[in-house]
Amino acid sequence: MNRYAVFGQPIAHSLSPRIHAAFGAQFGIAIDYRAIEAGRETFAATLEAFARDGGRGANVTLPLKEDAVVLCDALSDRARRCGSVNTLLREGERWAGDSTDGVGLLRDLARHGIDARGLRVLLLGAGGAARAAAFAFLDAGARELVVTNRTAARAQALAHVLGPPARTCAWDALRHQAAFDLVVNATSAGHAGDAFDWPLAAGATPAACYDLSYGRAARPFLAAARAAHARAMHDGLGMLVEQAAESFERWHGVRPETTPVHEQVRAMLDARG
């Protein structure tokens, strides 16, 4: 049986193995899909060992999405543009890389009734997932995309690659910004479990807030958004399912139904508490 996996650190919490097993069940495909712990120092060697052991495809999550780019011999156009890879496909003796995060995000936002076209969007973070989201928002026709990051140079570098209508704003200067239509958290701050330091002014109530993380990792940001009286708040579980469906189609050539799988993993996540 061909093997598949998700690589990241931490990774034990990942729902990806259950999601891909559920997708496989729709088509009678038995899936050997595992979660493999790998940090930046060990990722290349761990991925090589995985390929030797029959690995045919993989997903990549924090903090490895930008590192995965340099391990690929071929990149899709969207992966090349955003400089981020979350989907790997073994082609002979080489890895081909793709980025399915952006399309997964847009599909989940649409499920919530949010169309990025014409919106003023604030993107918190400038890492691999943020890069994929940023290009997706511009492709979808966002009116303005403001990128901010604790390390200002990373936000500036991303905005430079994006071009207009993207621009940067220093984190400490966000309190002077007018209200945004959509605030997206692409930082890893919630994984530490600490309270989220809401950066916007008290009167700048956003229409919607979305965290690319899900479960416990999304709670600090969503709690801060609730306290700021955001009118809608969503975690990234739907994005996880939608980007996984894109990966599944790349690997197996068939497109799974996402709604029943989203409902299944949401119930599972709620049961975890």
Q: What is the pTM of this model?
A: 0.95
Q: Examine the domain organization and report whether 216 and 252 are in the same domain.
A: no
Q: Examine the domain organization and report whether 32 and 81 are in the same domain.
A: yes
Q: Examine the domain organization and report whether 266 and 191 are in the same domain.
A: no
Residue 222 has pLDDT above 80, yes or no: yes
Whether residue 159 is annotated as binding a ligand: the answer is no
Cα torsion through 132, 270, 226, 154, rounded to 10 = -20
- What mean pLDDT is predicted for residues 103-119? 98
Q: Examine the domain organization and report whether 153 and 86 are in the same domain.
A: no
Q: Report if residue 107 sits inside a domain.
A: no
Whether residue 243 is annotated as binding a ligand: the answer is yes
CA 267 vs. chain centroid, Å, equals 21
Rg value, the chain, Cα? 18
Q: Report if residue 244 sits inside a domain.
A: yes
Q: Examine the domain organization and report whether 154 and 81 are in the same domain.
A: no
Whether residue 61 is annotated as binding a ligand: the answer is yes
Contact indicator for 218, 211 with CB cutoff of 8 Å: yes
Residue 1 has pLDDT above 80, yes or no: no
Q: Report if residue 104 sits inside a domain.
A: no
List residues with catalytic annotation: 65
- What mean pLDDT is predicted for residues 26-54? 97
Least confidently predicted of 41-50, 100-109, 129-138, 186-195:
186-195
Contact indicator for 218, 226 with CB cutoff of 8 Å: no
Q: Report if residue 68 sits inside a domain.
A: yes
31 three-state secondary structure: coil
Whether residue 154 is annotated as binding a ligand: the answer is yes
Residue 191 has pLDDT above 90, yes or no: no
- What mean pLDDT is predicted for residues 35-62? 97
Q: Examine the domain organization and report whether 89 and 121 are in the same domain.
A: no
Whether residue 214 is annotated as binding a ligand: the answer is yes
Domain count within the chain = 2
Whether residue 2 is annotated as binding a ligand: the answer is no
Whether residue 97 is annotated as binding a ligand: the answer is no
Q: Report if residue 106 sits inside a domain.
A: no
Q: Examine the domain organization and report whether 183 and 255 are in the same domain.
A: no
Q: Examine the domain organization and report whether 55 and 154 are in the same domain.
A: no
Helix segments in the chain, DSSP class H: 16-27, 43-52, 67-70, 77-82, 101-111, 128-139, 152-162, 219-227, 237-252, 259-272
Residue 101 has pLDDT above 90, yes or no: yes
Cα(233)–Cα(93) distance, rounded to whole angstroms?
A: 43
Q: Examine the domain organization and report whether 14 and 76 are in the same domain.
A: yes
Helices then strands, counting H and E runs in the chain, come out as 10, 12
Q: Report if residue 109 sits inside a domain.
A: no
- Spatial neighbors of 61 by CB under 8 A, at least 6 apart, are 6, 7, 8, 11, 14, 86
Q: Above pLDDT 70, what percent of the chain?
A: 100
Q: Report if residue 159 sits inside a domain.
A: yes
| Domain membership of residue 153 as a residue range | 115-231
Q: Report if residue 108 sits inside a domain.
A: no
CATH number at residue 143: 3.40.50.720
Quote the tokens at residue 199: 């950066």
Q: Examine the domain organization and report whether 217 and 243 are in the same domain.
A: no
CATH number at residue 53: 3.40.50.10860
Whether residue 152 is annotated as binding a ligand: the answer is yes
Phi and psi based region of residue 54 (left: phi greater than 0; alpha: psi -120 to 50; beta: remaining): left
Question: How many CB atoms are closer than 10 A to CB 170?
Answer: 14
Q: Examine the domain organization and report whether 40 and 146 are in the same domain.
A: no
Q: Examine the domain organization and report whether 87 and 38 are in the same domain.
A: yes
